[in-house]
Amino acid sequence: MLDSVKKLFRSNIRQYGMFIALALIMLFFEIITDGTLLRPLNITNLVLQNSYILILAIGMLLVIITGHIDLSVGSVAAFVGAVSAIMMVNLNIHFSLAIILSLLIGAAVGAWHGFWIAYVRIPSFIVTLAGMLLFRGLTMLVLDGKSVAPFPDGFRAISTGFLPTFGGGSLHYVTILIGIGLSLLLIVMDWRKRLLDQRYKLEVLPPVFMIVKLAVLVAILNYFAFLLASYKGLPNIFVLLFALIVFYTFIMRRTIMGRHIYALGGNEKAARLSGIKTKKMTFWVFVNMGVMAALAGLVFAARLNAATPKAGVNFELDAIAAAFIGGASATGGVGTVIGAIVGGLVMGVMNNGMSLVGLGIDYQQGIKGLVLLLAVAFDIYNKNKSS
Amino acid sequence: MASNLLEMQAITKTFPGVKALENVNLKVKEGEIHALMGENGAGKSTLMKVLSGVYEFGAYEGDILFKGETCRFRTISDSEKKGIVIIHQELALIPQLSVAENIFLGNERSKRGIIDWYKTELETRELLKTVGLDEKPSVKAGSLGVGKQQLVEIAKALSKEVKLLILDEPTAALNEEDSENLLRLLLSFKGQGITSIIISHKLNEIMKVADSITILRDGKTIETLNVHEETITEERIIQGMVGRDLTHRYPLRTPTIGDIGFEIKDWTVYHPVQSERIMVDSASLNVRKGEIVGIAGLMGAGRTELAMSLFGKSYGQKISGTILKNGTPIKVPTISAAIEAGIAYVTEDRKEYGLILMQDIKSNISLANLSSISRRYLVNDHQELVEAERYREKMAIKTPSVHQKTGNLSGGNQQKVVLSKWIFTEPELLILDEPTRGIDVGAKFEIYSIIHDAASQGKSVLMISSELPELLGMCDRIYVMNEGRITGEVAREEATQELLMKYMTRGRD
């Protein structure tokens, strides 16, 4: 029994390594901040503070899997935020139309980058470095160097609103119900997969482990639902993020398109000779990145309630760091959406925790740099050991 | 009899979980050409790495005696100081540097840290003359062909005052002519007293140049044969290598040949960059159903160019000509259209173009035909696994599981994965480009059986190979190419190496 637990642990350590690291970091800060970290208010803030980085990290992950990089996302986010402000504040366009237009602008920017990278074959580092400068300049031009504010309330609700609820009392019942609903969904899906695996005679976890695993997951899920419910409930942005994570995980793991993206990053020449339209695929990955950058820009502008020329500075670095901490490979072909999210949360929790402790920004930057280096070193060490 | 230049005694090298070498003994006499033979994974390269100091003293057991003294090499430069130089299978030249810079890389002709370019130039010229390479020392190494690069490597070895030259598969990437040259060079070195160890899979070459042959199998020395003392046949060597009697190097087959499956007419292709350079010149050929048709030719004859341009125009520009499938013209403007039309192309370079090494066996097998295991756009993981298992069994891919990364497989097993991938697309025309390059004898036989199997299912097979015996052993009909044109068509019955060679070198009239 003990042996099989050990074996199970060892064979899955790489898969769960980042989750364990995140849990340990959270535990560490929970202790040294005397329980401030996991307070409902702080958890809500933590997600709000990092939402735009997490959105960028998803897009960046796809770019990194194809073996490219995108340095322009911070500037693009700022640019789209600025244009949306002009549309909503100066031109009084309704916010829902402005959002759609902004996302289309993001797609166009992505197409611009994708064209040079996929069809002219200029290295993405150079194309997006140029984009970083170009769109920062355009942002300042659009805003005339000044901040534009305030946004309409409907727009701000993206970043600052919470799901509606019913009933009175201090608990947000909708959040609790969602927590329970997701738990049931998780159990049903896991069970179905288990049955299917058994039908194909695959090795499955012993029932005890499966029950323990599900119990732990359900407990964590409902604990967080409860934490959030005891503040203001589920933030809108949380729902958006969750939808994005599920959607992109699904695309990357289950669809032909996802397979093609991994193959393209793993060996472009072999992928091309297997009938994959590699140029087109690269192009669309950058279009997608543009849309995600636009979305991040909107979320950030809504949170700040202003579009500023300095918005989004260094966002690209955080997004890239998130993907790498989450196990993506710099040479392409490897990485998972959930990994990038965990990587982003590791950075976010550390930012938040260190601020709570009152550590200066100088130390924070340095420590984050070291964590990035150590995370990737740990990953490479593990890979070498396993091969 | 000459004394032993090198003696490796009871060498044992263990990797975690595997004994790569066990009590291996190797004695190389002064001034001879010694061939080291064995299947892939027999331990040849590991043994040479022990000898050249890649694995430092202490990382292995046993003794190395060079010129009678015990050597304990810690690094490669230790062994090079003694005059032991190894030329690896993968060429290690830096393409952006000139020939002269490459030759003296790490061994620069210099005074107090400043390079003496005159001396470098002069010595390079001398060295190039010795190896018979007519190129300027300032030429970039990357602009030379593989054969010439190999000569530069040898010149580099000579610059280090080599006593014992080790060549790991020196002719694997060379055509017949360049191989001949290289072997002649080895013989002339022998005349100058340089001892060589040559690792090769090409039996005929070994027979031509070797004085003695040591055979390794599963990390053990099987025997050392002296070519001058006994008559040794190729069969004798193969038997030593595989440990069984391989009377038939090619599996038996009775072809059942049907109608013409694919026909190509007046196929012309131009170079993708130099738009005036013609690579394939109005080539016409046909392949019947169930037929294995070979394409012979020297390197640069346009064989790969022809194959790749047929495969969805994946090579070249200004492509003209017709492809007929079952008598009707078809259009294949893209690779996916080609796959759709039932054409599959197995590349000659499986690591670079055939496989995604970081992905597992099952993902590689399914890659070119994901739609068959998908409903709408969703891949059915379970069905993928079932298919992969089926191919693992059918192709006898030796692996603990289909979840194994293809980068960890041996050459033969990698090739089986690539073949699985393409047979999984259910092609009607299977184009194979050097399907057994760098694969050991035992695995070759299995690959041949797979090819036979494909033909017996009525597929048309087009097989490019640089090894003439392979073409003669496998094909029902052979086309010969030279300078982009098809210069001959030979039926199985009348095919001989001499005849093929004649067509292969037939120039423009």
Q: How far away is chain A from the Cα of B409, in angstroms, using its nearest Cα? A: 11
- Judging contacts by C-beta atoms under 8 Å, the chain A residues touching residue B417 are none
**What is the C-alpha separation between B373 and B491, in angstroms, rounded?**
40
d(CA B332, CA A255): 26
Residues of B in contact with A385 (CB under 8 A): none
CA distance B438 to chain A (A): 19
Q: Both tokens of residue A234?
A: 């589920």
Report CB contact under 8 Å: A269, B367: no
Q: How far apart are CA B186 and CA B184, in angstroms?
A: 5
Chain A partners of B386 at a C-beta cutoff of 8 Å? 200
* Interface contact flag, B379 A255, Cβ < 8 Å: yes
**What pLDDT, on a 0 to 100 scale, did the predictor assign at position A2?**
60
Contacts of residue B168, defined as CB under 8 A and 6 or more positions apart, other chains included, come to B44, B45, B48, B86, B87, B88, B89, B199
A194 touches chain B (CB under 8 A): no
In degrees, rounded to 5, the angle at the alpha carbon of residue A369 between the alpha carbons of residues A367 and A370 is 65
CA B148 to chain A, closest CA, distance in angstroms equals 26
Q: What is the DSSP letter of B3?
A: P
The per-residue pLDDT for A337 is 95
Sort out which chain A residues have CB atoms less than 8 A from B421's CB and list them. Answer: 274
Instruction: Judge whether B387 and A272 are in contact, CB under 8 Å.
Output: no
In angstroms, the separation between the Cα of residue B237 and the nearest Cα of chain A is 34
Residues in chain B: 509
Say yes or no for a CB contact (<8 Å) between A275 and B311.
Answer: no
List CB contacts (< 8 A) between A196 and chain B. 382
Beta strand pairing status for B292-297 and B278-288?
unpaired
Task: Report which secondary-structure segment, H or E, holds B35.
Answer: strand B33-37
pLDDT tens by residue, A27-56: 999 999 998 888 888 988 888 899 999 999
Closest Cα in chain A to B344? A274
pLDDT digits (tens, 9 = 90+) for B345-361: 999 888 889 999 999 99
Sign of CA dihedral A73, A76, A80, A82: positive
> What pLDDT sits at residue A9?
62
Match 């609103």 to its residue by tokens.
A161
Which residues from chain A sit within 8 angstroms of residue B379, using beta carbons? 254-256, 258-259
Flag if A266 and B345 touch (Cβ within 8 Å).
no
Residues of chain B with confidence (pLDDT) below 70: 1-2, 16-18, 40-41, 243-248, 507-509
Q: From B353, which residue of chain A is nearest by alpha-carbon distance?
A: A270
Residue B1, pLDDT score: 46
* B482, B452 contact by CB (below 8 A): no
Contacts of residue B99, Cβ cutoff 8 Å, sequence gap at least 6: B124, B128, B135, B136, B137, B138, B139, B140, B141, B144, B152, B155
Residues A235 and A229: beta-carbon distance below 8 Å: no
Secondary structure class of B230 (helix, strand, coil): coil
Please name the member of A274, A329, A333 whose beta carbon is closest to the beta carbon of B368.
A274
Q: Which of B309, B353, B401 to mutate to test the interface with A (most CBs of A within 10 A)?
A: B353
Measured between CA atoms, the residue of chain B closest to residue A332 is B358
Contact A273/B385, CB-based, under 8 Å?
Answer: no
Please report the ipTM that was assigned to this predicted complex: 0.83
Please confirm whether the linkage preceding A164 is cis (ω < 30° from 0). no
Comparing CB atoms, the residue among A196, A270, A333 nearest residue B382 is A196
* Closest residue by Cα to residue B457 from B413, B427, B432: B427
A386 touches chain B (CB under 8 A): no
Among A267, A272, A280, A387, pick the best mutation site for testing chain B contact (most B Cβ within 10 A): A267
Written as one letter, the residue type at A105 is: I
pLDDT of residue B297: 87
Residue A5 neighbours by CB distance under 10 Å:
13
Q: Which residues of B touch A384 (CB under 8 A)?
A: none
Residue B246 amino acid letter: L
The pLDDT of residue A117: 97
Report the percentage of chain A scoring pLDDT > 70: 94
Q: Write the residue in B314, B356, B382 that is nearest to A263 by C-beta.
A: B356
Task: Find the CB nearest A267 among B334, B356, B378.
Answer: B356
Q: Say whether A270 and B356 touch across the interface (CB within 8 A).
A: yes
Nearest CA in chain B to A275: B336
Say if the Cβ atoms of B353 and A197 lie within 8 Å: no
Cβ atoms within 10 Å, residue A248: 22
What pLDDT does residue A385 have? 65
Strand runs (DSSP E) across B271-422, as ranges? 278-288, 292-297, 317-325, 328-330, 343-346, 374-375, 378-379
pLDDT tens profile A43-101: 888 888 999 999 999 999 999 999 999 999 999 999 999 999 999 999 999 999 999 99
Q: Do A266 and B311 touch (CB under 8 A)?
A: no
pTM metric for this prediction? 0.81
A277 touching B (Cβ < 8 Å): yes
- What gap in Å lies between CA A205 and CA A7, rounded to an integer? 12
Q: Which residues contact A345 (CB under 8 A, 6 or more apart)?
A: A22, A50, A54
| Alpha helices in A305-336, H assignment, sequence order | 315-325
A256/B371 Cβ within 8 A: yes
Q: Which residues contact A327 (CB under 8 A, 6 or more apart)?
A: A17, A18, A334, A335, A336, A339, A343, A379
Position A4 confidence tier, pLDDT thresholds 50, 70, 90? low
- Mark residue B169 as left, alpha or beta (left: phi above 0; alpha: psi -120 to 50; beta: remaining): left
User: Domains in chain B, ordered, with CATH?
Assistant: 4-242 (3.40.50.300), 261-342+428-436+460-509 (3.40.50.300), 349-426 (no CATH)
Residue B368: which of A257, A267, A275 has the nearest Cβ?
A275
Q: pLDDT band at residue A290, thresholds of 50, 70 and 90?
A: very high
Which of B349, B367, B389 should we substitute to test contact with A (largest number of A Cβ atoms within 10 Å)? B367
More confident residue, A320 or A18: A320
Please judge whether A270 and B354 are an interchain contact, meaning their C-beta atoms are less than 8 angstroms apart. yes
Q: For residues B270 and B313, what is the distance between their CA atoms, to the nearest angstrom?
A: 11
Note whether B359 contacts A196, CB cutoff 8 Å: no
